[in-house]
A and B are shown apart, each in its own frame.
Chain A
Amino acid sequence: MTPWPTHHFTADDLDAFHTEALSNEMQLHLETCEDCRRLVVLDRQVLAMMNRLSSFGPRDGFADRVMARVTVGSPAPVPVLSYPRFTRPRIAALSALAAGMVTSIAWSTVNRAVLEGWLDRTSATLWNLGASLWQQGLLLLAAQPWYDSIRSVSGEPVRLALIAAGTIGLYATGLVALRRLVTPSAGSVSNARA
């Protein structure tokens, strides 16, 4: 026995009706439901009217007007690497740079001992400066009121491991969130690249 439908015609039922694919129960419903019959008739009229609509054409010479602005057979533009043109100011700048480099190399070769002396002094000065800054930083850190509590926590390996794991987890979550925020959505390219 065909089950009795519990609803009136839906959009899908209307489509099914027009393509002669209506289910038996909806066919039965149609025979008894005045509202749905009216709906079907009206919908069929709408579709029939739309099917009968004429097409319109543009004015004569449309193709000529289009073709006047179309380049026949032009291949798709291929990106070409452009090299900078060698203008006089550019050549002069490059020559000056090259001359400076050659002079520098020649001087370094001839005055090697002087150069090494300079390098030694400079590196020693920088090393002393770095060491002094590091010591001052450590002293400043040790003078902070929270330093002792932090030190006591880091003294226990389990706590230290938990803090490290938590920090790494937080960092990774932040990275993932940032990546999602900055990645543009990839819209589907469904057709040619025009």
Chain B
Amino acid sequence: APQKPLYLCSPFVEAALVKGNFKTIVMLPKYVDIMEWVAVNMFDFYTNLNEFYGVLTEFCTQQNCATMSAGATLNYTWINQDRKHVHLPAPTYIDYVMTWVQNMLDDDSVFPTKSGQDFPPSFPSTVKHIYRQLLRVFAHIYHAHYAQILHLRSEPHFNSLFAHFLAFGTEFELLEVKDVRGSSSSPVGVGALWERWKGMGILGG
């Protein structure tokens, strides 16, 4: 039988920086604009994930990660300008994702920062897109770099960040079950982690 991934094993699966239910910091605060709430949280998820990915860049190389893997039989593809699905090395793929997200966060017409400026009508669908791509980055790190995270003693931190991300995605319907589970022939590794955490009751809901 294939070996169970480290992140699903004890004690790592329970490791957490933030104990308890994420509901309290995920929920929309009363009277607050939902767009602002989602925007600032996506901004923070991006910043925090970027920070951790920055730690792992020397392990996530063209040689070590020739594909954007997230499970034993799952490699994500990038859609290029010609609308073709292409396989990219993980560092290239992630670089594209992070640059793309950064550009949007910096774009005042997508994430407005001036006072009195409204969010565009397309904002909810943009955020869903961003969420989906960030989920892939998380999925790759769990699948390919979890041992390094353990060596660096960062698993409580990274677990909490991901659990928070999942709880937030569930609360605001950004998370698609098919994205986190994958298909039966090529399941997403972290799909099982999501199930485990749901069972442990840390994802709120």
Chain A partners chain B: no
B residues with a Cβ closer than 8 A to A are none
